[in-house]
Amino acid sequence: MITFHGRRIIFFDLDGTLHQEDIFRSFIYWLLWRNLLNILPFLIVLPLIGLGLIIYGRTSCWPMSLLLWSITVGRSESLLLQREEEFTNWFLQRQTPFLKIHQRLVEYISCKDTDVWLITGSPQVLVERIYCNVDFFPHIQLIASQMVRAYGGRVLSMRCVGREKVAQLTERIGQPLKLESGYSDSTLDDPLLLFCHNRFRVTPSGNFYKILS
């Protein structure tokens, strides 16, 4: 058993791991379809976004922050809050939960010596809206991307993807990181999975298998 300060630490990704869909990607598409006037600023910055992702990599923050800003700029905060609520209702009607992963998570949180960390690239405010009524949610620790108001729209002040997940968890529990188990569908989480004694890959159908070291 791997423990950290006497506690077992378990990591779960969210999108593609606890459910099939990607919250942030879905939010971007959904919002753009409802803010059609923002297509123009979106198209203007699209080449810059693409160039940023090519140069700085898929896990970089500012290209996705610029994308979010382009489809929210000029919209009032009250309207965007309303859009968040509407999106939550829309997403919940289409969400495909992976019940085997949910059951695994519930088994962990039932153990008194175990801390479960849900670490995701989706914005915290959306995750909390979507999962607030799920039984296990009050019993996990959440680290997520941060979406804030700036420059007349919304931006990401922190994008919790790739190595940023390692940095954010380290900031909260200290070094050296020692996790007993980690679950993710994405190779982007491999930097954090490297600190897990047991590593599990989640398949598109919601099953999982152990990654052999």
- The pTM assigned to this predicted structure is 0.94
The pLDDT score that the predictor gives to residue 6 is 74
Degrees, nearest 5: CA angle 150-81-146: 50
What's the gap between Cα 69 and its chain centre? 18
β-strand partners of 208: 202
β-strand partners of 150: 153
Contact between 70 and 38 (Cβ < 8 Å)? yes
As a whole number of angstroms, the distance between CA 83 and CA 34 comes to 9
Q: Which residues of 178-212 are buried (b: 16+ CB within 10 A; e: fewer)?
A: ebbbbbbbbebbebbbebbeebbbbeeebebeeee
As a whole number of angstroms, the distance between CA 127 and CA 132 comes to 8
As a whole number of angstroms, the distance between CA 10 and CA 28 comes to 29
As a whole number of angstroms, the distance between CA 119 and CA 151 comes to 27
* Domain boundaries of the chain, sorted by first residue: 8-210
Instruction: Look at residue 5 and give its three-state secondary structure.
Output: coil
| Res. 4: pLDDT tops 90 | no
User: What does the pLDDT look like over 105-132, one tens digit per residue?
Assistant: 999 999 999 999 999 999 999 999 999 9
Instruction: Look at residue 153 and give its three-state secondary structure.
Output: strand
User: What does the pLDDT look like over 139-175, one tens digit per residue?
Assistant: 999 999 999 999 999 999 999 999 999 999 999 999 9
Q: What is the CATH number of domain 8-210?
A: 3.40.50
